[in-house]
Structure 1
Amino acid sequence: MTISPDFSAASTAVATVLAAYLLLGEPWAGRRMYGSLARRRDTEPRALVRYFGLVLTLWWAFAALAVAVLLLSPGTDAADFGLAMPDRPGYVVTGILLAGAVAVASGRNFHDLAKRDKNVPGLASIEAMLPRTAEERRLAIAVAVTDGIGAELVYRGLLIAFGVGVLGLDLYVAAAFSVLVYAVAGFYQGRQGVLAFALFGAMFTGLYLATGSLLLPVAVHVILSVRDLTLPAPEKLRAAPEAAV
């Protein structure tokens, strides 16, 4: 895979501001937002609905900025942002099917563990985001899909192109930079969240570099996010909204 993005002055300014925010501001903003949700989750019935609404707004704003950077750069092709058909379509289909099978199998296992009050890996770090009502579940799926699309466009498509076209980095160094920025976004889940985001960020980046397209990483990201955000909430969480209603 090779890219040769040519950023204009305007697109460089927009991309620099966004990259700086993602690296320095987003980890703290995300931690503050999630902390506020966790404190209000049991006392405000619509706390999660408002939280999901804000997350959706932010993701589409970030995605719009990424598209603006592309449009402001006449010398940059959409393929430089991963917006192209994959080099190996067969690998993409196989990867999507494999990810779907893993998500279904692991999702069933996680649901079974949760129903038996057993420990579910990573559940505690996203407990406040787990839906309790049908409305929250619909929003959770919308957030999962938006997260998969937005995160790949911004963290993989934009940041790697930014690293190559603006910072003058080698493609693989720019990819490592994007993984670093994505990893710190998991700060709201604590140290383990940073490590988990680094691991999955490396996986998504590898899929992008291997196929030359965001299609496979987006699909895998969406599948895994839907699995995680539709896990059953612990009993202590599920009981609260029924009393509120």
Structure 2
Amino acid sequence: MTISPDFTMPATVLAGALGGYLLLVEPWLGRRMYASLARRRATQPRALKRYFTLTIALWWAFAALAVAVLLLSPDTTAADFGLTAPDNPLYVVAAVLLFGAVSVASGRAFREMAREGKHIPGRAAIEAMLPRTAAERRLAMAAAVTDSVCSELVYRGLLIAFGVGVLGLELPVAAALALAVYALAGWYQGGSGVLVFALFGALLTGLYLATGSLLLPVAVHAMLTVRDLLIPAPELPQAQGGTA
């Protein structure tokens, strides 16, 4: 995979501002938002709906800014942001089938563990955002798809292109820097959340670099996020947020 983005000055300023927000503000704001949700989840029935609605709105706003950066740079192509067909479509199809099977199988295992009252790894870290009603589940799925599409465009597409085109980094170094920024977004789950996001982000980054397209990372991101948000919520939500 090779990219050669050429950012104009307005695009550079806009992309730099968004990158600075993701690095310095998003981890802190995400932690505050999740902690607030965890405190209110048990007593305010609409708390989760408000949380997902705000999250969806923010992510589409970030995605719109990423598209604006692309439009402001005539010499930068959509492929420089990963918005292109993958280099090897058959590889993508095989990977989607594989990750789809893993997502379905692990999802079933998690639901069976919940019915048996067993500990589900990682559930405590996202407990407050697990839906309990049909309406909440629909909104959770919308949030999962939005997060998958928009965060891949921003963290993988935009930030890697920024690292190459503006900072003058080699592609692997730019990808590593973008991965570090993505990992910090997991701080709302505490230190272990940063580690989980780093590992998950490394997988998605690898898929992007291997295919030259955001299609496979978006698909894998969506499947695994939907699986996680369908984990059955415990009987009584814990009123502690921001910790893993």
Whole-angstrom CA distance in 1 between matches of 2:189 and 2:222: 19
Whole-angstrom CA distance in 2 between matches of 1:122 and 1:164: 35
Whole-angstrom CA distance in 1 between matches of 2:30 and 2:119: 25
Q: Per-residue deviation at 1:207?
A: 0.2
Whole-angstrom CA distance in 2 between matches of 1:123 and 1:139: 19
Whole-angstrom CA distance in 1 between matches of 2:112 and 2:195: 25
The amino acid that maps onto 1:109 is A
Contact residue 3 and residue 161 of structure 1 kept, 8 A: yes
User: What is the aligned partner in structure 2 of residue 93 from structure 1?
Assistant: 93
Whole-angstrom CA distance in 2 between matches of 1:103 and 1:28: 30
The amino acid that maps onto 2:65 is L
Whole-angstrom CA distance in 2 between matches of 1:119 and 1:26: 30
User: What is the aligned partner in structure 2 of residue 150 from structure 1?
Assistant: 150
- Structure 1 spans left out of the alignment, 5+ residues: 238-245
The 5 Å alignment of 1:1-245 reads 1-237=1-237
Contact residue 117 and residue 234 of structure 1 kept, 8 A: no
Q: Per-residue deviation at 1:230?
A: 1.3
After TM superposition, the runs of 4+ consecutive aligned structure 1 residues lying more than 3 A away are none
Q: Per-residue deviation at 1:231?
A: 1.1
Contact residue 86 and residue 212 of structure 1 kept, 8 A: yes
Aligned residue-pair number: 238
State percent identity of aligned pairs.
71
Q: Per-residue deviation at 1:84?
A: 0.3
The amino acid that maps onto 1:151 is S
SS of the counterpart of 1:236?
A: coil
Whole-angstrom CA distance in 2 between matches of 1:230 and 1:163: 35
The amino acid that maps onto 1:136 is E
TM-score using structure 2 length:
0.96
The amino acid that maps onto 1:42 is A
TM-score using structure 1 length:
0.96
